[in-house]
Chains A and B, each alone.
Chain A
Amino acid sequence: MDSLTLLVFLPLLGALVVALTPRDAIALQRGITFTTLLAVCLLGLKACVGFDGSSAACQQVVDIPWFALPAGGSTVPVHFKLGLDGLSVLMVGLTALLGPIVMLSTWGHITTRVKEYTIWLLVMQSGMLGVFLALDIVLFYVFWELTLIPLYFMVGIWGGERRLYATIKFFLYTMAGSLVMLVGVILLIYLLKTADIQALTEGADRLGLTRQTWLFWAFALAFLIKVPSLPFHTWLPDAHTEAPTSGSVILAGVLLKMGTYGLLRFCIAMFPAAAIGAAPLMMALGMLGIVYGALLAMAQYDLKRLVACSSVSHLGYVLLGMFAFTQAGVRGSVLQMVNHGLSTGLLFLLIGMIYERRHTRMLDQFGGLARVMPLFALFFTLAVLSSVGLPGLNGFVGEYLILLGSFEPQPWITSVAVTGVIFGAIYLLMATRKLLYGPLERPENKALSDINLREVGLMLPIVVLFFWIGFAPNTFLSRTDASIDALLARVAKARVTLAAELPREPDHR
C-alpha cells in the first residue's frame, strides 16, 4: 500500500482493533493506540523528509477512482486522491508528530471510558491527515466533516463543567460554515465538471469575477469560522476551556490550522482575483484578531482561557501574512501555522499537567511554583518565550516574516498589528510571573511534585523543534518555497488580468 494511503487508514485500523478489545483492558488500549500513532508519526515524518521542496507539483500521489457524481448532463468522477505539496507538507508533519505526544499526555487525564477516547483519538488522526492530504474536493469535504465528530465527543464526554454548552456551540458554529462551503463545493463541481483540486485550481480562472467572489466567500466563511477569525471567534475560548488537555492540544495544534490551510489551498489558490479584492478586509480581520485576542487574553484569570484567547491573537498573524501576497508574508504564515501548533500545544500540555496536580487553573491560586517545580518552570518559560517571539526560538521567525511581508501592502494595518507583539509579551509574561515566581505561599502549592519522566519525554520533541526552527528555519521553509512561489505567481497573474480589465469597464456601460 502507498505510504500516504497507509497514513490515512492506519489510525482507522487501530481504532477497529481497539474497538475489539475488552472494555477494561485499559493498558492494552493505550498501548495499541500509542503504537499506532507512533507508527503514523514515523510514516508521516518519513513522507515529509522524502518530500522534494524544489518542485511545486504534488508528490507521492495516490489516485484511486471512488465513484461518480451527476453534474448536469455528465458525471464527474470523484477520486480517492492524496498527495503532498509545499502547502500541506508541514501540516502533515505537525499532525503526525503531535499524535503520539497527545496520546502520551492522556495517561494523566483520561481515566474513564479510555476505550472510547482512544478510538476517537485515532479517528481524529485519520480525519486530520486526510484533510491535509486530500487532492479531491469531495474527499476533502468528507474528511473535513469527519474531524468534527471526534472532537464533539471528546469535549462532550471528557470535558469540564460547561462541556455540553461548549461542544454544541463548537459543532453548530463549524457546521454552519461547512454547509455553506458545501454549496460552494457543489457549485464549483457543477461549473468546472471536475472534483480534482489541481484541475479546479487551474480551471477556476475561467469563471467570472462575480462568480469567483461568491465562491471565495462561501469557502472563506467556513475557514474563517474554523481559524477562528473575528467575529466568529467566540466558540474557541469555550471549546478550549472545556476540552480535556489532549483535546485542546489537537484543537490548537491542528484543527485550527485546517482553517488557515483551507484559505491558502482553496480561497487564495483557486480564486486569486477574488482574494485580491478581499485582501484588505482579510488583513484587517487578522489585525483585529491580533489586537482583540490579546486584549481578551489580558483580562483572563483562567490560565487555559488565557491561552485560548492568545490563539485568536496568534492566528490573526497567520491571516495577516497570508493575504499580504508577498513571499515573506506567506512564508511566515505557513511557518507560523507550525509555530502556533507547537508553542500553544506545549502551553496546553503544561496547563494540563498543572491542572492534574492542583485541579485548578486560576492564576490567583498559584505563585512561586518555580521553586517546587523547576523542570515545569523551565518548559513553561520556554513555551511562553516561543509564543511571544523571542529571537532564537521559532515564534520570532514566523512573526517577523509576517510583519515584514505585510508592511509593504498595508503599512497602517500592519503598524497596528505590531502592537500585538507587545500585548502578547505583556499578558504571557504577566501570567508566567503570577504562576512561577513571587512568594510560594499556599500549602497546596508547596506539596506539588515536579513533572515526571513521561511528561518530560513527551514535551522534548516540541522543544527541540523550537530551537531547530528558531536557528535553522530553512530546513522547513525550503520545502514550502516552490509551492508558495507558484501560489504567488497565480495571484500576480490575476492582478495583471484584473488591471487589464479595469480600464475597459466604462465601455461596457
Chain B
Amino acid sequence: MNPQVLQDFLRPESLWALAPFSVLCLGAMLVLLADILPGTGVLRRPLFLLTIAAAIVCTLRGFSAPEATYLMGSFHHSHALSAWTLLFLLSGLIAFEFGQRYYREEAAFLAEHDVLMLTSIAGMVLMAGAADLLTFFIGLETLSVPLYTLAAFRRARSDSVEAGLKYFMLGAFAAAMFLYGAALVYAATGTISIEVMRGLGTTLGEPLALVGFALIAGSLFFKVSVFPFHFWVPDVYQGAPTPVTAFMATGTKAAGFAFLLTLMGQNAVNGKPVLPESAAWIVGWIAVLTMAAGNLGALVQTDLKRMLAYSGVAHAGTMLLAIAAGWHDTQPHGAQDALLYYMAAYVFTAGGAFGLLAWLESEGGAVTVESLKGLSSRKPLLAAAMAVFMLSLGGIPPLGGFWGKYLVFACAVRAEMIPLAVIGVLMSVIALGYYLKVIVAMYMQPQTETRSFALGSRWAAAIATGLCALIVLAIGLMPNWVLERLG
C-alpha cells in the first residue's frame, strides 16, 4: 500500500469526511461477527440500528465541514455529499424496519441480509463521493454485488431467484459498459480524475471521449432505470423481496443520480459539466421518453408492486429532466438542489409505499388493486397512509412530491426547455390515472376479496409507515426544512 494514502487517510479532517463510510463498514463487520459468535445473535438488530445512528451523527457533523478532496483526489466531500449520505441511510433504515418479520423461512439468515444492506449503503456513499472514475466503479460494485444477493434473498421462491439472476446479468453488463467507457475516456484524456477533466476543455469533445462518456452515461442510466435501459426494472422490482425493492427504488436511484450530478459539475463550486453540452436535448428527450415508458407501463398494471416499479421508472425520467437542464440552468447547483429535494420526498414516499406493500404482502401473497378494494373501511389509517403516498407520488400539493416536481420543472424552465417541461407535466397527468386507481379501489369500491389483511402487531412497520406519511406531509407544508439545508 502506498504509505502516503494511509497518511492522508489518518488526518483528522479526512477521518471525519470518510466517517460515515468507515462506520458503515465497521458496523457490517460487527453484525457479521455477532452472527458467528455464539449467543450474540440478539445483538443483530441493535447493532444495525446503532451503526445507522452513528453514521447519521457523523453525516450531520459533515454538513458543517468544508468542501475538500481526500485520499489523493479520489473522494470529494461536500455539503451535498452529506445530504446524499443522509438519504442513503434513511432509505436503508426504512427498508430495514419494513424488513422485520417480512421474511419467514429466510429469517435465519437475517444477519447476512443486514450485512449486505450495510455494505450496499457504504457503496452508495462511495458512489456519491467519488471524485474519479475508478472510485466510482468500486462504489458501484460495492453497492451492486450485495444487491444481487439481496434481490435473490427469498431463495425458496423462483421469482426472487429470477430477479437476482436477471439483475446480476444485466448489472454485470452495465458494469462492463462503464469500464469500457472509462477506459476510452482515459485513453482520450489521460486522466480518470473528474476534477482534472473539467479543466481539459475541448479535449472532452473528441470522438473517443464522446463514445466513452456515452457508455458511462448508459451504465448510469441502467442503474437509475432510465429508458431504454429500464426493461429489467419491472421484473426485478417485482421479484425481489419488497423491502429490498424499496431500498433499490430509493437508495440505488439516489446514488446513481448523485454521480450523474458529479459528472455535471453540480457538486463543486463553479464546477463545469464534463459531459458534452450537445447531449442536453438528447438527455432531455430520453427523460421524457422515460416518463412515457414508465407511466404508460404502469397504467396497465394490476399488481401494485409492478405498478410502483413502473412508476419508479417514470420518476427516474422526471429526475433526469433536471440533469438535462443542468447545462443551461442559470441557477448554480439548480439540478442538485432539485434532485436532493425530489429524492428526499421520494425516499419517504416510495419507501413508505413499498414498505406498506411489504406489510400487506406478508399477510398472504401479492397485493393487487383488486385486493385493496374497500380497504378504507377495514383499515382506515393504513388506507389513509397509502393515499398520502399515492397523492405525493402524483405530485399533488401540499405533499412533498409536489415541490420535488416543481423544482425539477423549474430547472427545465430556467434552461429554456419549456417544451420538455410541458410534455413532462402532461405525463404526470397520465401518472395520476394509475395513482388514482389505487385510491379509487381503497375508498370508493366495495370489498370483493375475502382476504382480511389481519395485520399482526408489527410495531416497526406501523411506526415506519406513520412516520413516512407524516414526513411527506411535513416537508410538503414546510419545504424550507429541506430547502434551507441544501445550499
Query: How far in angstroms is the closest Cβ of chain A from B391?
Result: 7
Task: Say if the beta carbon of B331 comes within 8 Å of chain A.
Answer: yes
| A146 close to B397 (CB less than 8 A) | yes
Which residue on B lies nearest to A153, using beta carbons? B443
Q: Mark A174-190, 1 if CB is under 8 A from B, else 0.
A: 01100110110011011
| B413 close to A149 (CB less than 8 A) | no
Which residue on A lies nearest to B405, using beta carbons? A182
| B418 close to A187 (CB less than 8 A) | yes
Contacts of B72 in A (CB 8 A): none
Task: Say if the beta carbon of A171 comes within 8 Å of chain B.
Answer: yes
Most buried by B among A66, A141, A153, A179: A179
Task: Say if the beta carbon of A168 comes within 8 Å of chain B.
Answer: yes
Contacts of A190 in B (CB 8 A): 410, 413-414
Task: Say if the beta carbon of B337 comes within 8 Å of chain A.
Answer: yes
Task: Say if the beta carbon of A71 comes within 8 Å of chain B.
Answer: yes
| B479 close to A164 (CB less than 8 A) | no
**Which of B334, B397, B426 is A176 in contact with, Cβ under 8 Å?**
B426
Task: Say if the beta carbon of B330 comes within 8 Å of chain A.
Answer: yes
Task: Say if the beta carbon of B213 comes within 8 Å of chain A.
Answer: no
Which residue on B lies nearest to A179, using beta carbons? B425
Tally A residues with Cβ within 8 Å of B.
34
Q: Mark B121-157, 1 if CB is under 8 A from A, else 0.
A: 0000000000000000000000000000000000000
| A179 close to B433 (CB less than 8 A) | no
Contacts of A148 in B (CB 8 A): 396
Q: Mark A140-157, 1 if CB is under 8 A from B, else 0.
A: 011001101100110011
**Which of A142, A164, A183 is B440 in contact with, Cβ under 8 Å?**
A164
State in angstroms the CA–CA spacing of A141 and B409 once bound together.
15
Task: Say if the beta carbon of B436 comes within 8 Å of chain A.
Answer: yes
Contacts of B409 in A (CB 8 A): 182-183, 186
Task: Say if the beta carbon of B480 comes within 8 Å of chain A.
Answer: yes
Supposing A66-B480, A67-B483, A156-B444 touch, asked if A183 and B337 sit within 8 A by C-beta, the answer is no
**Which of B410, B480, B484 is A186 in contact with, Cβ under 8 Å?**
B410
State in angstroms the CA–CA spacing of A73 and B413 once bound together.
14
Contacts of B443 in A (CB 8 A): 153, 156-157
**Which of A67, A145, A153, A183 is B397 in contact with, Cβ under 8 Å?**
A145
Task: Say if the beta carbon of B406 comes within 8 Å of chain A.
Answer: yes
Contacts of B421 in A (CB 8 A): 183, 186
Supposing A180-B422, A190-B414 touch, asked if A71 and B429 sit within 8 A by C-beta, the answer is no
Supposing A142-B398, A164-B440 touch, asked if A71 and B410 sit within 8 A by C-beta, the answer is yes
Query: How far in angstroms is the closest Cβ of chain A from B367?
Result: 20
Most buried by B among A157, A167, A175: A175
Query: How far in angstroms is the closest Cβ of chain B from A15?
Result: 13
| B330 close to A72 (CB less than 8 A) | yes
| A71 close to B426 (CB less than 8 A) | no
| B432 close to A67 (CB less than 8 A) | no
Contacts of B436 in A (CB 8 A): 152, 168, 171-172
Query: How far in angstroms is the closest Cβ of chain B from A470?
Result: 40
Which residue on A lies nearest to B395, using beta carbons? A179
| B410 close to A68 (CB less than 8 A) | no
Q: Mark A224-251, 1 if CB is under 8 A from B, else 0.
A: 0000000000000000000000000000
Supposing A67-B480, A73-B332, A145-B396 touch, asked if A183 and B429 sit within 8 A by C-beta, the answer is no
Task: Say if the beta carbon of A69 comes within 8 Å of chain B.
Answer: yes
Q: Mark B429-454, 1 if CB is under 8 A from A, else 0.
A: 10011001000100111000000000
| B396 close to A183 (CB less than 8 A) | no
| A163 close to B444 (CB less than 8 A) | yes
Query: How far in angstroms is the closest Cβ of chain B from A131?
Result: 12
Supposing A67-B479, A183-B425 touch, asked if A168 and B440 sit within 8 A by C-beta, the answer is yes
Contacts of B334 in A (CB 8 A): 70, 72
Contacts of B329 in A (CB 8 A): 72
Q: Mark A183-216, 1 if CB is under 8 A from B, else 0.
A: 1001101100000000000000000000000000
Task: Say if the beta carbon of B428 comes within 8 Å of chain A.
Answer: yes
Majority secondary structure of chain A interface residues (helix, strand, loop or mixed) = helix
| A179 close to B429 (CB less than 8 A) | yes
Q: Find residues 52-73 in chain A having any chain B CB closer than 8 Å to their own CB.
A: 66-73
Q: Find residues 265-308 in chain B having any chain A CB closer than 8 Å to their own CB.
A: none
Query: How far in angstroms is the closest Cβ of chain A from B299?
Result: 12
State in angstroms the CA–CA spacing of A179 and B426 once bound together.
7
Contacts of A168 in B (CB 8 A): 433, 436, 440
State in angstroms the CA–CA spacing of A70 and B436 once bound together.
31
Which residue on A lies nearest to B330, using beta carbons? A72
| A187 close to B429 (CB less than 8 A) | no
Query: How far in angstroms is the closest Cβ of chain A from B315?
Result: 16
Task: Say if the beta carbon of B478 comes within 8 Å of chain A.
Answer: yes
Task: Say if the beta carbon of B185 comes within 8 Å of chain A.
Answer: no
Query: How far in angstroms is the closest Cβ of chain B from A211?
Result: 11
| B397 close to A142 (CB less than 8 A) | yes
State in angstroms the CA–CA spacing of A153 and B436 once bound together.
11
Task: Say if the beta carbon of B117 comes within 8 Å of chain A.
Answer: no
State in angstroms the CA–CA spacing of A145 and B394 once bound together.
12
State in angstroms the CA–CA spacing of A183 and B337 once bound together.
18
Which residue on B lies nearest to A173, using beta carbons? B429
**Which of A145, A172, A176, A186 is B413 in contact with, Cβ under 8 Å?**
A186
Contacts of B396 in A (CB 8 A): 145, 148-149
Query: How far in angstroms is the closest Cβ of chain A from B412?
Result: 9
State in angstroms the CA–CA spacing of A72 and B433 once bound together.
33
Task: Say if the beta carbon of B407 comes within 8 Å of chain A.
Answer: yes
State in angstroms the CA–CA spacing of A157 and B414 once bound together.
41
| A183 close to B398 (CB less than 8 A) | no
Contacts of A153 in B (CB 8 A): 443-444
Which residue on A lies nearest to B421, using beta carbons? A183
State in angstroms the CA–CA spacing of A355 and B410 once bound together.
48
Query: How far in angstroms is the closest Cβ of chain B from A152?
Result: 8
State in angstroms the CA–CA spacing of A164 and B373 once bound together.
13
Contacts of A176 in B (CB 8 A): 426, 429
Query: How far in angstroms is the closest Cβ of chain B from A222?
Result: 11
| B406 close to A182 (CB less than 8 A) | yes
Q: Find residues 375-413 in chain B having any chain A CB closer than 8 Å to their own CB.
A: 391, 396-398, 402, 406-407, 409-410, 413
State in angstroms the CA–CA spacing of A72 and B479 once bound together.
18
Contacts of A70 in B (CB 8 A): 331, 334, 337, 407, 410, 483
| B425 close to A172 (CB less than 8 A) | no
Query: How far in angstroms is the closest Cβ of chain A from B406?
Result: 7
Supposing A145-B397, A148-B396, A168-B436 touch, asked if A69 and B429 sit within 8 A by C-beta, the answer is no
Contacts of A167 in B (CB 8 A): 440, 444
State in angstroms the CA–CA spacing of A189 and B331 once bound together.
13
| B397 close to A68 (CB less than 8 A) | no
| B480 close to A175 (CB less than 8 A) | no
Query: How far in angstroms is the closest Cβ of chain A from B426?
Result: 7
Contacts of A163 in B (CB 8 A): 444
Query: How far in angstroms is the closest Cβ of chain B from A239?
Result: 14
State in angstroms the CA–CA spacing of A412 and B410 once bound together.
43
| B397 close to A72 (CB less than 8 A) | no
Contacts of A182 in B (CB 8 A): 406, 409, 425
Query: How far in angstroms is the closest Cβ of chain A from B478?
Result: 7
Beyond contacts A145-B397, A171-B436, A187-B413: 9 other A-B pairs, Cβ-Cβ < 8 A, are A67-B479, A67-B484, A69-B410, A72-B414, A142-B398, A146-B398, A164-B440, A167-B440, A168-B440
Of the A-B pairs whose beta carbons lie under 8 Å apart in the complex, a sample of 5, sorted by A's number, is: A72-B330, A73-B330, A157-B443, A167-B440, A179-B429
Which 8 A-B residue pairings sit nearest by Cβ, starting from the closest? A67-B480, A179-B425, A72-B330, A156-B444, A142-B397, A186-B413, A176-B429, A186-B410
Question: What residues of chain A have their CB less than 8 Å away from a CB belonging to chain B?
Answer: 66-73, 141-142, 145-146, 148-149, 152-153, 156-157, 163-164, 167-168, 171-172, 175-176, 179-180, 182-183, 186-187, 189-190
Question: What residues of chain B have their CB less than 8 Å away from a CB belonging to chain A?
Answer: 329-332, 334, 337, 391, 396-398, 402, 406-407, 409-410, 413-414, 418, 421-422, 425-426, 428-429, 432-433, 436, 440, 443-445, 478-480, 483-484
